[in-house]
Amino acid sequence: MKVLIVGGVAGGASAATRLRRLDEKAQIILFEKGPYISYANCGLPYYIGGEIKERENLLVTKPALLRGRFGVDVRTDSEVVAIDRQAKTVTVKNHQTGETYKESYDKLLLSPGASPKKPDWEGVNLPGIFTIRNVPDTCAVDDFIRETGAKRAAVVGGGFIGVEMAENLTARGLSVTLMEYQEQVLPPLDPEMAAIVHTHLRQNGVNLALGTAVSGFEKAGTGILVKTGKGDLETDLVILSVGVAPDSGLAKEAGLELGIGGSIAVNDNYQTSDPDIYAVGDAIQVRSRLTGQDTLLPLAGPANRQGRAAAESILGRKPSHSKDVLGSSILKVFQLTAASTGLNEKQLKAAGIPYLKTYTHPASHAGYYPGGTPMSMKLLFGPDGKVFGAQAVGQEGVDKRMDVLATVIRLNGTVYDLQDLELCYAPPYSSAKDPVNMLGFTAANILNGDMKDFYCEDLAGLDFDKVFLLDCRTPAEFAMGTIPGAVNIPLDELRNRLEELPKDKPVYEFCQVGLRGYIAYRILSQHGFEAYNLSGGYKSYAQARELYQKPSPVDCVGLPK
């Protein structure tokens, strides 16, 4: 069998090596239009920041390895420019020699990836304006900074690459402005979780311009003028990071069926509308495991698994990996880690799925062992307890908790499973009640009726003539800041001061992170009060107070008000 693979990196290179491991006799040719077949896409910003010192370290797999160890005919600087489905050939242009030739195939695998979006803005092609997709792009930015001595940078777009570039350009010594059209960075996070990242970015010197729409660029002396509806910004360097689009032009010209966003439509065997042509990676349409809806997910992990599965399918095996995805993602933001898995509130609302939620703020390990750091966690779950999604921001331990939660979601687990998980514990690593267990406990309390929560976004709608807002923290905590309108009665005094609370009004109470508030709720509810506990406590409010001083953009579907 003769298999042609168009594109390397994650999907194509994984497919090539899996094909060879399964079929020693197959003829495998891999075409890559650039000079590198497999490089660390996710590591590119860290070369700019100096964390990765050598350009060679960005190259994951070199052509010599695929040729020597796997017997793959690797052809770099070779772009497939056309597909003749009738003749089962492709047309290849060799960018080194200028030669154009045809190559036949039995099976064809497309792994073209996704291209950075470049809006049709005035001046978008001026020198000093860059997108980041591959090693040459990254080297061009590095060379520009070295040669021009750039001191100022504007990053347009607050997704993963935009935030990582803002961090690494700051580490490089540049003054960075991060400009985002939406009111938050990192779309996988809900606004109140992204607000934690906003504060941290500003604390580390990034000028954050949210809700700022860029309209174009002009040359300004030796720099560039970034034009926006809120005023203009002069800078030396611009990184465009406004999203990516599936690189499906070759498939479209070949008449293959396209999916959402111009992606390549594939079935569960990664076959396109032509049964002899397969596709994987950032260019294909995948499916949400939780909603069943088609979606796009340009991430390296799924692309690697898709390449492996497509190779199996090409050889007639049942693929080991479906195209269902959760969207698990993580990134470093200076000293913080932000991660998410499954669906967020925006996605649950769009899909019309009723859900509940809970917030916790655990330490990364046992409090009595030195060095623990706080995390902020959010869990989204259904009325039957099924876990839909989770988000976390913190300094340590975020990654392993999110991996556990992603596994539970993948296995259709519930909040009751979170309670029962037996996770590794020793004081330097966790607590006897791991933060994942604690999410399960608090969620189960809600479902079992042991606690009625309310949320920070509900505060703006409270009428203090009709409700009583109780701060059950210590007087010292209260003096350092509270929610406007709250009355302070410390938890340890609450039983003896119940007469100070109105019996004809519901009591909305809170503590610092929610635990003392839960105890207060249990006391109040058993003494005849209608009570509600603020999920996540005052800390959740303080982390994103700007969201709660006006109507919130998020609401909880299916939760009684």
SS3 label, residue 493: helix
42, 139, 456, 511: the active-site residue:
42
**Long-range contacts of range 60-66, CB-CB < 8 Å, 24 or more positions apart?**
60/13, 61/8, 61/13, 61/37, 62/37, 62/38, 63/37, 66/13, 66/16, 66/17, 66/30, 66/37
Question: Is 42 known to be catalytic?
Answer: yes
Dist CA 141 CA 152 (whole Å) = 13
Position of tokens 């839909």?
388
Residue partners of 236: CB distance under 8 A and separation at least 6 = 128, 148, 150, 151, 152, 153, 174, 222, 223, 224
Residue partners of 278: CB distance under 8 A and separation at least 6 = 107, 108, 109, 110, 266, 269, 270, 271, 272, 310, 313, 314
Residue partners of 34: CB distance under 8 A and separation at least 6 = 76, 77, 134, 135, 136
Please, which residues bridge with residue 156 across strands?
179, 240
CB 7 within 8 A of CB 90: no
Which stretch of DSSP H or E encloses residue 191?
helix 191-203
Nearest to 362 by CA among 451, 430, 273: 430
Residue 404 tokens, joined? 């556990």
The string of DSSP letters for 95-157 reads TTT--EEEEE-SEEEE---EEE-----BTTTSTTEEE-SSHHHHHHHHHHHHHH---EEEEE-
- Tell me the CA distances in angstroms from 377 to 254, 393, 456, one per residue in order: 46, 7, 15
- Tell me the CA distances in angstroms from 170 to 13, 50, 178, one per residue in order: 33, 11, 11
**Long-range contacts of range 97-104, CB-CB < 8 Å, 24 or more positions apart?**
103/4, 103/29, 104/2
Residue partners of 155: CB distance under 8 A and separation at least 6 = 162, 165, 166, 169, 176, 177, 178, 179, 238, 239, 241
User: For 411-510, where are the alpha helices, taking DSSP H only?
Assistant: 415-420, 435-447, 475-479, 491-494
SS3 label, residue 2: strand
Q: How many residues does the chain have?
A: 561
Q: In what order do the strands lie in the sheet with 286-288?
A: 294-295, 286-288, 324-325
Residue 403 tokens, joined? 């991996």
Active site residues: 42
